[in-house]
Amino acid sequence: MRHAFAIGLLAAALTASPALAKPQGARITMAAARAKALAAVPHGRIKSAELEREHGRLIYSFDIAVPGRTGIEEVQISAIDGKLVSLEHETPAKERREARADARAHKPH
């Protein structure tokens, strides 16, 4: 009985894993979007990833660092069809501005 319970917990953990599960409304997984983002930025390493709604679209957004290059590549992949939405280089100064704007937007009122 204890063994069956442990297997049930493991199964629940695996299906709840953000890398394996499709979040509410998404048709592709984070893992599939991650693979597409890395294909768009050769030799890159993902620094952060999130699912967000931007300009009415449900997207996975990845910040990818490239060795020997300052700033990051921001790659957005559609969570609906897996297509590349945008690929933009962000300088360190632009990253700081975005971080400040995000902090203000998420500040409790």
- The pLDDT confidence band at residue 83, using thresholds 50, 70 and 90, is very high
DSSP 48-92: EEEEEEETTEEEEEEEEE-TT-SSEEEEEEETTT--EEEEEEE-H
Any idea where the domains of the chain sit in the sequence? 23-105
Beta-ladder partners of 77? 60, 84
Q: Alpha carbon 68 to chain centroid distance? A: 23
Residue-wise pLDDT tens digits, 11-43: 444 444 444 556 678 999 999 999 999 999 999
The top-level CATH class assigned to 23-105 is alpha beta
Residue type, 49: A
- Residue 98 is predicted with a pLDDT of 80
Instruction: Please list, in sequence order, all residues whose beta carbon lies within 8 angstroms of the beta carbon of residue 31, skipping any fewer than 6 positions away.
Output: 19, 20
Q: Which residue has the tokens 């709840």?
A: 16
pTM for this predicted structure: 0.71
